[in-house]
Every structure is written in C-alpha cells, then in structure tokens.
Structure 1
Amino acid sequence: MTHEHPRIAMLSVHTSPLDQPGTGDAGGMNVYVVELATALAAHGAQVEIFTRSTSSTQPDTVPLTDGVLVRHVPAGPFEGLDKNDLPGQLCAFTAGVLRTEAGRAPGWYDVVHSHYWLSGQVGWLAADRWDVPLVHTMHTLAKVKNAALAPGDSPEPEGRVIGEEQVVGASDALVASTAEEAADLVELYDADPDAVHVVAPGVDLERFGPADGRSAARAGLGLPQDEQIVLFAGRVQPLKAPDVLVHALGEIAASGGPVPLLVVLGGPSGRPGAVTELADLAVRLGVADHVRLLPPVDRDELARWYRAADVVAVPSRSESYGLVAAEAQACGTPVLAAAVGGLRSVVQDGVSGELVRGHDPRSWARAISGLLADPARRGRLSAGALRNAEHLGWEAAAEAVVKVYQLAQDRRGTRESSPTRAVGGSSPWPAWPLART
C-alpha cells in the first residue's frame, strides 16, 4: 500500500529510546533509534517506536518529536526483569504490537524495522502478519561478543545465538553499521550477502561539534585548565573495559610518569556493583585520586565533556560501531580505541585517533602517555577527527536506510522461500531521496 507519508513500525523491546544512555541496558542503540527515527521523520515518514513498559505510571504513548511516537507495550512485570529474562515475554510483547495494528485500517504500516535480536523475533511475526518487509539491525552479535569475552565475564546464552540465526534468516534486509559487521553476518550467521547493507550511523553534528573549544568546555564544567584528562563515556561493564584504563593508570603511576585524570561517565550494567568495583580497583592500584566516577549525563553535557577531554578512550572488547568514538571526533577530540570491530572503521588510525591492539594495560599506558606527551600530534589528530566526522550526519544515514527499505520490499516480493511473501502495489517510498549503501 502506498502512503503519502510512509509508516514505519520500529521495535526496541529491551530498552526504551527515552532511557538515559550510559547505564543499565541503555547505550548507543538508544541514541541510534532516536536519531534515526527523528531523521526519517524529517523526511516525511511517520515512525512509531514500540518498547516494553517498565513502570505502571508510563503513559501508553509519548510523542518524541514531530512524526515520532513512542508506544509502551505491557509485557511481563514492570520492574525486576533482566534482559536475559525477556525472551519469555516476547509473546506478550508481540500481542501488544499486533493489537495496535489490528485497531487500524488494513495495511497501516509499510515496513518493520527491528533493533537487537529480541525485537527481531517480534518483527519476524509482525512483518509476516502484516505482509510487509522486515528490516533488522543487530547492533551487537552474540558470536562476536563470545569470542572476545573479558576475564570472568559470562558468555551470551545459546538461546540468543539461535534467536539471532533465526532473525537473520527471516529478515528481508539487514543493516550493518560497518563492513566488519557485514562480514560477520555473512561468515558467522550465513546471511545472504545480497540482503546485507552497510549504513554508517550518524552523529548529531549540531550538538557534537568543536564549539568554543577545550578551555570554554572546562570552564563550563568547573575543570582545571592545566590538568590532562582522559574520558571514558559508556556503561560500566566488562565488555566496555573501563577497568583496562584504571589498570593503565596504575602502570603509568608505577613507572613514575605523570598520571592524568581519568573521568568515567557511566552507570553499572549487568552487575549493580560494577561502579563500586571499579572504584575499589583504583584504590588497590593507588590511583584513586586520579579517577573520577560520575553518572551518565544528558547529550548536551556529554558534548561538553568530549570537548573538555584531551583524549577520549574506547577500550571495548567488542564494538559493532562505536558511537562514542564518532561523537568525540565530531567534537575535535582525538580517540584512543581498541582495534576491534567497527572501531577500526570509525577511527582512522593515525589520522583521527589511534588504534590500540589488545587490552594489555601496559599497551594502553604507553598509548595514553605517548599521546598526552605530544601536543603537536594531538593537534594533528584533532584536525583529522573533525574532517573524519564531516560525513557522519544522520541525514545521510536516514537516506541510506530509506534505500534499504526499498530494496527490502523488492526482495520480499521475490524471495522463493515463502510464497506468501509477495507484496502487491507500488513502492511507498516514491519521493524519497536515495543514498548509496
């Protein structure tokens, strides 16, 4: 069915776009969903984001911006459910999604775009029921995470691996953030290469930019002008590896070198005591005076922190993209990133930042000390970071995703594996600009 303003059902089961990124299960995916939905709406689409209710006081719907509506779907108890408990609530969530569409005219939605494998399980059924394409973005992959576990971290369950494999097979199109993720989908999950499309996420370039520079940012945050600052922004969990940075500070202190201030902006994820454990580690290593643990902040204040830092460190053990690295570069701050996953694409080694091989604290100590001791190199990387970020606006990402929607509709009509998949009528995207994927 053709609509003047295409209608997109976007699914984000386990984390709400309204949640504060940086704690619990909220992170880069939350930002991705909000920014993509907003950019699509700016092109004239109507986007409804379905997410699980986590409080009895939440309204049924919350307008996010013009053209974007968040729908809270009751599924299981409002509180006390871990992400790993949610597979048991997918039937209830799916029923809520289908019930919403059932109260409308047939053919209301033009495409389902699901995020993370839990949402893909719901989207699989909804897309079949509504006879529309299913487009899926994984965000993280269990097989990749399990291959890069931190010491003592728990592997992703086999049920997730199976669920991801099912979603890959059911999707009419898969959106990968980097070529590395696309290759993982093909090689590890047997995805059809023709169904995988690389679309780099965007950055809000109006919010994340150099603005008035480091001095002004530090003045606004009450930070000393002469102290060297390394910033970590993200969830405090083994996967994101902030402990590697604390150990690196311990190595710097043991060598007698100048120890910078490490600022950690983030809350616990997975283990409630994760932040306390990080603080205890700093005490044991004798660097507690050089570590400041702060809760996550809103997007505008986060931009100020990026600008205030001498370097932003992203030591993740696995990262499908690396939104923090992209945002920091847009602010003109060099990035030290682990040479894993999408970070190898986001950070141009030696141009906009530096890639660190492995997670040995000694390697990170050398990288941090070397960069902080070389202001000329930091200046070159800062200029390169700004150039690298110029093409990362969300408008380009939204245009590319629109093309994926078109290709998914065409593919759904021709897939031989399911005769019921044929889609009649003309494309609902006739007037939308296309971008290369």
Structure 2
Amino acid sequence: MSAGARPARVAMVSVHTSPLAQPGVGDAGGMNVYVLEVSRHLARMGTAVDVFTRTTTASQPEVVEVEPGVVVRYVPAGPYEGLSKEDLPGQLCAFAAGMMRVAAHAPPGYYDLVHSHYWLSGQVGWLAADRWAVPLVHTMHTMARVKNLHLADGDEPEPRGREIGEAQVVEAADRLVANTAREASELVDLYDADPARVAVVEPGVDLTTFAPGSQAAARALLGVPADAVLLLFVGRIQPLKGPDVLVRAAAELVRRHPGLRDRLVVGVLGGASGSGARTPMGLDDLAARLGIAENVRFVPPVDRPTLAQWYRAADVLAVPSHSESFGLVAVEAQACGTPVVAADVGGLPIAVGEAGLLVDGHDTADWATALGRLVLDPALRGTLARRAVEHAQGYGWAHTAQRLLDVYGEALSRPKDVSIHEAPRLTGIPTAVIP
C-alpha cells in the first residue's frame, strides 16, 4: 500500500478483557473503553474492525456485531472462568490458534493490519501479523518497568516474564502507540524502542455522554444530599489506583475542618481488581479506623450514563494513582465540569492540564491540602470547572481514531523488515494446530 493508505479491515487484539465488559469490574477499565471507542470511530471512517478477545462465560456468543463495521469475536482459550490475568500467558497458544482458525475461513488478505493492546495481546498479535504478513501496531496501556518504579505500599511487582514479553513486542512492532509524550520517552528509555517507530496518540472521551449538567439533579437522582461535599474516586479497587490515599486525605480534611464532618461524602466507585482482588484493601476497615466510616459510600461499577451523573454530582474527582498511562476518568470528569485533583504521575499531567490540581507524591497531608483548596474555595472550584470543560473538548474519540489511521498508514507504507518478523518467534505455538 502507498503512503497514507488506509486499511480496509483491522484485527484488534484484546486478549484479557472484552471491550464490551463493564469498566471497573475485574480487569476492565480504561483500555476497554479505548478499544471499543476507537473501533467504533474507525468503522465510521471506513475501516472495519474485528476485535478478538477471550471467552470468559459459556453464554457468550462467538460473534457480536457492535455496530456496522465492528465485530467482537470471542475466542475460547482455557477455562471460561476462574483464570486471572496472571494465568493467561499459558493460554496464548490456544488464543493464537483460535485467531488463526478465524482467518483461515476468510478470503486471503482479509486483515490488512493487526493492532494489539497490552503485552499479552502483543505476543499474540506478533504471531498473527507475522503469519499474515501484515504490520503490527501495538499499544502498551501499562508497562511493567514503569509500574515497578512506582509501586504502592504493599503492592506486588510485575514479574520478570512480563518485562521480557513486553521487550519482545517492542522489538517486533512496526509501530508503537503511546498515549503521551512521557510514555513515548519511557518506551525509548526503558525498553530501547526505536523513536522513529513510536507515535503519540492521545486517548479520547465520549463528549456526548460526558457533558456538563445540573449538580442538583444528579445528586437527587443518586441520593446524595444537596448540601454534601462530595469527593469522588472512580476506578478499580487496587493499590495501584490509590483509593486509600483519598480515604486517608478525607479523614485528615475532617480533622482540620470539623465542620465538614456532617456534610462530607466520599464516593468510591469500582470493583476489586488485580492485587486488590487477591488481597482485599479493606477500605471499609480503614475508614472505620480513621473515624469516617459513615462518610464513605462504596458503589459498584455503573454504566456510563450513571457514571456521568456521579461526575456531575461531585465537587472534586480524586485520581491518586501511583502509575497511570493517561487517566481517562480525569478527562471524563472534566467533560462533565468537575475539577480534578490528581497525582503528578504518568499521563495525568496531560489529562488534567491547567484545569485541575496536581499533587507530587501520595502524602496524606499534601492530598488533604489540595482537596481542601477546592472544597473551601467555591470561586477556585468554579474557575477550574470552566477550564475543565474547555480542556476536555480537545479529546474527542474521532480525533484519536484519525490519528490512529495516520499511524496505520505509516505502518502500511513501511517496507517489511524481515529481520524483525523472522527474528525469534513466539515460542510454544505448534504449527500443527494453525490452519
């Protein structure tokens, strides 16, 4: 294909989590939203997308058409239930074989390009791209070496096997997509990626669902008192995301300003995931020990329209992550007119911009001070709310999809580097099972 060519059909690979899964449940999160939204917008721009993901329940159909041009294909690989993300490296052979079978029943050249997400998918995508003689584009979303540099207290380091697997995918990919310039630098500095093959494509936000609205109406709908001071956390309940930082800071805020006690509501939206599922964080016990058990409200993951209502209802969204490739929840909240206080890590400075406050580190006193600035200063909160809406307008998913098409075009126009795709291949995939 010539420079600037667009693929007719992309094989999108998301092994460990379906784009149709509810964000906040298990391993589902921002990556799910990313895969689903870019697939939809790519299809609307004329590039069809088949998303390959692992079957996790017996009731899942083999194929789900999301909308014209977007198909999710569920591939059996290991037991449907009971496998954690950490168990999946042993199922990559079965997953790859399932992808090969799908392609074997399609016309030659059915897929023009493979775009894999997260390192597990990168291993499978590497094999598929090599077999089909098409480019491999890969998005890390998170990286072991970055996460291990910023571990939360009590969190488990990522295993050496993941680091090795990521390094292999970095070497094999024709293009690497980074969410921010900082992530691009991390790929180069920590994984020795070729800078010429790294492209920055910022994620987007659904500006139709996430938009300003009445705080009073949102609170009435959600059962939040009209005069509450609502601090909100949205994300998976695991040490990496730092929900305990918000609980501790809220208790310190009450200690400094006792008059807030009767009005303070700390909303924690999300489900346990990763190390947080294996070793529960005990946020309810923490809140009780700190004397704010009655102020903390735990809410299971909700659908996107309801999530937008929570953002509108909140005075502040806290994003105290220890590592974050971008931080979609920050932009979603800003699109609803809610100021953000976030950790100064990863892609959060880009996601927040000048429309929120950044905190260096995770010290309880520092977080209480930052939250207090917004809670106690309605004028500042109003100023940041207006900036937040303006800032979020630059992050529509259509723009993200268009940038990806540019990256795809670059990958398609690049002469095939045989040394990459015939270098050490993904081991453990017996050719006998591949059609």
Q: TM-score, normalised by structure 2?
A: 0.93
Contact 2:176 2:197 in 1 (8 A): yes
Q: CA deviation at 1:417?
A: 2.7
Q: What SS does the aligned partner of 1:229 have?
A: strand
Residue 196 of structure 1 deviates from its aligned partner by 0.5
State the distance in 2 between where 1:89 and 1:286 align: 45
Q: Deviations over 1:267-288 (max 9, x none)?
A: 1112337667111110111110
Q: How far off its partner does 1:221 sit?
A: 1.8
Whether the aligned pair in 2 keeps the contact of 1:23 and 1:234 (CA below 8 Å) is no
Of 299, 306, 313 in structure 2, the residue corresponding to residue 301 of structure 1 is: 306
3-state DSSP of counterpart to 2:277: coil
Q: Which runs of 5+ in 1 are unaligned?
A: 422-437
TM-score by length of 1: 0.92
Which of the numbers 261, 264, 268 marks the counterpart of 2:265? 261
Query: Which residue of structure 1 lines up, in the alignment, with residue 409 of structure 2?
Result: 406
Q: Aligned residue for 1:94?
A: 96
Contact map agreement 2:53 2:73 (CA 8 A) in 1:
yes
In structure 2, C-alpha distance between the alignment counterparts of 1:277 and 1:344, rounded to whole Å:
29
> In the alignment, is residue 331 of structure 1 matched against residue 336 of structure 2?
yes
Q: Which amino acid aligns with 1:400?
A: R
Task: Describe the superposition over 1:366-394 as per-residue Cα deviations: whole angstroms up to 9, x where unpaired.
Answer: 11112100000001101110111111101
Provide the secondary structure at the position in 2 that maps to 1:272. helix
Supply the distance in 2 between the matched residues of 1:234 and 1:105 (Cα, whole angstroms): 41
Matched with 1:150 is 152
2-structure distance, mates of 1:229, 1:419: 52
Could you tell me how far 1:5 is from its partner in structure 2? Answer: 7.3
Cα 1:100–1:154 change in 2 (3 A) is same
Tell me, in whole angstroms, the C-alpha distance in 1 between the residues paired with 2:409 and 2:277.
43
- 1:85 maps to 87
Aligned to 1:219: 220
Is contact 2:16–2:120 with CA below 8 Å preserved after alignment?
yes
Instruction: State the distance in 1 between where 2:147 and 2:278 align.
Output: 22
Q: Which residue of 2 aligns with 1:203?
A: 205
Structure 2 match to 1:382? 385
1:285 maps to amino acid:
L
Secondary structure at 2:142's aligned position in 1? coil
Which structure 2 residues correspond to residues 112-123 of structure 1 after superposition, within 5 A?
112-123=114-125
Counterpart mapping for 1:268-417 below 5 A = 268-270=272-274, 271-272=276-277, 277-348=282-353, 351-411=354-414, 413-415=415-417, 417=419
Deviation at 1:416, TM superposition (A): 6.2
- 1:274 and 1:302 map into 2 onto residues whose CA distance is 26
Change (3 A) 1:232 1:275: farther
Q: Equivalents in 2 of 1:285, 1:65: separation in Å?
A: 48
Could you say what secondary structure the match of 1:155 adopts? coil
Counterpart pick for 2:51 among 45, 49, 52:
49
Which SS does the other structure have where 1:24 is aligned? coil
What corresponds to 2:430 in structure 1? Answer: none
1:432 aligns with none
The unaligned stretches of length 5 or more in structure 2 are 424-435
1:132 to 120, 123, 134: 134
Secondary structure of the residue aligned to 2:241 is coil
> What is the aligned partner in structure 2 of residue 71 from structure 1?
73
Residue type of the alignment partner of 1:9: A
Q: Find the residue that maps to 2:23 and give its secondary structure.
A: coil
| 8 A Cα contact 1:233 1:265, kept in partner | yes
CA contact under 8 A between 1:268 and 1:274: conserved in structure 2?
Answer: no
- Aligned position for 1:11: 13
| Aligned partner letter, 1:242 | P
Letter in 2 for 1:381: L
Paired residue type of 1:73:
V
Cα separation, partners in 2 of 1:262 and 1:405, compared to 1, 3 Å: same
Percent of aligned pairs with the same residue? 59
Pairwise CA RMSD of aligned residues? Answer: 1.7
